[in-house]
């Protein structure tokens, strides 16, 4: 009875962990460049109860072993905004926050911000977008020649030059990346260090949609709910059986 009790308890915890992953996916269904997570489960430790039957091992529940990204591309949305970019490949944009921490992201919803006497390219969180050499991108502006033949900087952004400056990076192992807030990916030892790849395309005026499949997530939610209810019933029944055994004694 104790084995059934603890096995069901681990099942309830694991079903809740799976529900948390599904809830995170659903909450990011409209997050640009978000990659959904898929949980993987594994058996807990096994115990041999009969020395004469070594192959009769009894398991003690389940746990969530890891979560994997699904890196398939769901599609792109035309925004008609010249500072919006999408990647039709396995590349990433490299960004750096104010604390110097670097992240990879597929979110190409960019903006410009004033830094001293110039403008720099940032994402929606205010993180600086980096070029192919890992430097902040100073936004280039078009120039025109005045009546005296001198060149004057205009207020019009040179989007063609800016597009060429935006760095696209790849890592040896996408599945080794770790998830951070929303659509940011953390660089880890398993993913390897990002390297620039100037041969990868960038789609201007487009944003990549989240690849969350709402129908799949709703099915997963129902499965986790039913599994949780079943495990809860087992806990209840084993507790009642233990009470009966105690009263008999």
pLDDT in tens, the chain (249 residues): 577 888 888 889 999 999 999 999 999 999 999 999 999 888 877 766 667 776 777 667 888 888 888 888 889 999 999 999 999 999 999 999 989 999 999 999 999 999 988 999 999 889 999 999 999 999 999 888 777 777 787 888 999 999 999 999 999 999 899 888 778 999 999 999 999 999 999 999 999 999 999 999 999 999 999 999 998 998 888 888 878 877 876
Give 182's Cβ-side CA count (13 Å radius): 12
Tokens standing for residue 25: 């996916």
Contact 172, 192 (CB under 8 A): yes
What residues contact residue 16 under an 8 Å CB cut-off, 6+ apart? Answer: 224, 228
Report pLDDT for 190.
92
What residues contact residue 228 under an 8 Å CB cut-off, 6+ apart? Answer: 11, 12, 15, 16, 19
The predicted model scores a pTM of 0.81
Report pLDDT for 249.
64
**Domain match, 50 and 146 both:** no
Residue 84 belongs to domain spanning = 76-208
**Domain match, 66 and 80 both:** no
Number of domains making up the chain: 2
**Domain match, 101 and 122 both:** yes
**Domain match, 229 and 109 both:** no
Report pLDDT for 138.
95
**Domain match, 93 and 199 both:** yes
């Amino acid at each position: 009875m104790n084995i059934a009790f603890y096995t069901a308890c681990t099942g309830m915890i694991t079903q809740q962990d799976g529900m948390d992953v599904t809830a995170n996916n659903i909450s990011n269904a409209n997050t640009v460049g978000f990659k959904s997570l898929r949980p993987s489960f594994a058996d807990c430790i096994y115990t041999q109860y009969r020395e004469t039957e070594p192959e009769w091992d009894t398991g003690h529940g389940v746990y969530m072993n890891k979560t994997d990204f699904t890196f398939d591309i769901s599609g792109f949305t035309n925004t008609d905004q010249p500072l919006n970019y999408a990647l039709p490949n396995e590349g990433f944009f490299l960004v750096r926050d104010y604390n110097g921490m670097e992240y990879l992201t597929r979110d190409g919803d960019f903006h410009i911000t004033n830094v001293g006497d110039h403008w720099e390219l940032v994402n929606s969180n205010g993180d600086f977008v980096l070029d192919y050499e890992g430097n902040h991108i100073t936004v280039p502006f078009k120039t025109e020649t005045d009546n005296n033949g001198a060149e004057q900087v205009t207020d019009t952004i040179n989007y063609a030059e800016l597009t060429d400056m935006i760095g696209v990076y790849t890592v040896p192992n996408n599945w080794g990346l770790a998830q951070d807030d929303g659509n940011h990916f953390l660089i880890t030892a398993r993913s390897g260090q990002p390297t620039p790849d100037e041969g990868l395309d960038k789609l201007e005026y487009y944003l990549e949609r989240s690849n969350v499949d709402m129908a799949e997530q709703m099915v997963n939610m129902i499965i986790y709910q039913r599994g949780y209810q079943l495990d809860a019933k087992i806990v209840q029944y084993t507790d009642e059986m233990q009470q009966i055994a105690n009263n008999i004694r």
